[in-house]
A and B are shown apart, each in its own frame.
Chain A
């Protein structure tokens, strides 16, 4: 969550270089906060540009996602347990 104070509308920009040489626009408007999500692994830099041309100091954000190996292991366990439940229900009562 990013929050800021500004008198007027702002541009919120993001880039992967510390000098924000090729920034991408995240938001333009009057809001005072922004929920940031969905970034890939890596380092990012964010800044605000005001209408008068004032620019904030860059904010450094580092993103490290969880282990993909662990995630895939959990998916495998989940798939096995779910499949067993589905088969048990669809197979029904066979010993009546």
Chain B
């Protein structure tokens, strides 16, 4: 994010921050009252219904990137860039059938780490933990950092204070309320985001017609309308596979598959994808309208807020502040909860204290959430601007995990040699491509190499996995 004049006075920013902070913490405390055990805290009693399930899938996937990076993609890569961003919804669509399968094979499972350990053994599990913790921690840090930077750009609130408040609020209600609070607040946050984006979309269209936008783009930015724009079409499948890798491997999504009521997972993830799909389209459309609206954009990642403030004035600036706050909170809380559960279940319970009581595990999950928050805060405080870009390194890591997960869920012949080699070879080749060619091929090449290795090992394997081994007693 580059420097730009704040759109709101700091006093308004602080007031909004205080109001929403009080609301989320209050709801977290209220929803946390019913949590008695680790299962209640981590998986909301495995009883989440369709409405909350769909909303949390959509809201978690609406990050600050969806509302800020999708417009940037549209401004830099045009219509294809905007559509490339929407391919992230395929992650939710394809995870829908997988969620049903996960729930069926692992009725008492807690984490995605459980799957790797039981399906492929300790070596594959250890590699998975390194990859997923790298991804989760960099995502967590980049989101918290984005929170401080965005609140500063929108309202002039000092970076350190904005970052501290948004992170502190998410840690507080996630610690107190667990996954139930995360999913409950996600429901409200998703409604606010959708209403905000719809209002902004109609407001933009009331100021400028689609014909005017098209005419302006054709005259001044013709490549943005070009169906054979090389950089844009390169991004399509790389982005799609990055999205698949993120959803398929991360405990944010697996914990929801375990938490949804039986039979709900498939429908909830598919509906969540449908709810999410139009958000980057609307956000990208706003960016494409910037030229026709005569909005000078000083930095590509500020195009969304600037267009909204231009069209709706101070009301628009307040709306974008609230949407950004909700987008950040809905992802930060999910990531805190899922990573804390992963560390509690896979490290504390499975490696250190197998005999820990449910109450003790719940307390440990709360301490781990607090520790994650403190770690993130300490890393974010110096405002190392380039750290957010580290998240892109994770593309090859998550891409390399797609095939071991998919074949591990559906094929008995999938084996540990395939999974370990697929993850290591895929990630290695992907990272080499990242530095030698560019980010736009890294995830694609990692997934392709991993696929070839996993398919070869599966084809040559004579072993047949017994699915019953996945239904470990809690």
Residue positions of A touching B, CB distance < 8 A: 1, 14, 24, 26-29, 31-35, 37-40, 65-68, 70-72, 74-75, 77-79, 81-82, 84-86, 88-93, 95-96
Contacts and interface: CB of A to CB of B under 8 A. Distances in A.
B238 A26 contact: no
Interface in B339-368: none
B76 interface: yes
Given A14-B220, A24-B220, A85-B402, A77 B75 contact: no
Contact of B230 (A34, A67, A78): A67
Chain A interface, DSSP helix/strand/loop, else mixed:
mixed
B229 interface: yes
Interface in B213-231: 217, 219-224, 226, 228-231
A12 to B, nearest CB: 8
B112 interface: no
Contacts of A37: 75-76, 221, 223-224, 300
Nearest to B288: A38
Contact of B298 (A31, A68, A70, A78): A31
Contacts of B412: 93, 95-96
A60 B150 CA distance: 34
B237 A71 contact: no
Contacts of A71: 228, 230-231, 233-234
B240 A33 contact: no
Q: On chain B, which size bracket covers the interface?
A: 35 or more
Nearest to A78: B237
Nearest to A31: B296
A74 B441 contact: yes
B109 interface: no
B190 to A, nearest CB: 25
B219 to A, nearest CB: 6
Contacts of A32: 298
B464 to A, nearest CB: 8
A10 to B, nearest CB: 10
A80 to B, nearest CB: 8
B74 to A, nearest CB: 10
A34 B279 CA distance: 26
A88 B221 contact: no
B181 interface: no
B98 interface: yes
B369 to A, nearest CB: 32
Nearest to A65: B230
Contacts of B126: none
Q: Which of B230, B298, B413, B467 has the most CB of A within 10 A?
A: B230
A35 B298 contact: yes
Given A37-B75, A72-B233, A89-B98, A78 B241 contact: yes
Nearest to A32: B298
Contacts of A40: 222-223, 226
B230 A70 contact: yes
Contacts of A26: 220, 291
Contacts of B44: none
Q: Which of B90, B296, B297 has the most CB of A within 10 A?
A: B296
B432 to A, nearest CB: 16
Given A81-B447, A89-B94, 9 more contacts: A34-B297, A35-B297, A40-B223, A71-B230, A71-B234, A78-B238, A82-B241, A85-B406, A88-B410
A7 B219 CA distance: 28
B101 interface: yes
25 contacts: A34-B297, A34-B298, A35-B75, A35-B299, A37-B76, A38-B78, A38-B217, A38-B221, A39-B222, A40-B223, A65-B223, A71-B231, A71-B233, A78-B240, A78-B241, A79-B237, A81-B237, A81-B448, A85-B402, A88-B407, A89-B406, A92-B101, A92-B410, A93-B101, A93-B412
Contact of A89 (B97, B217, B229, B298): B97
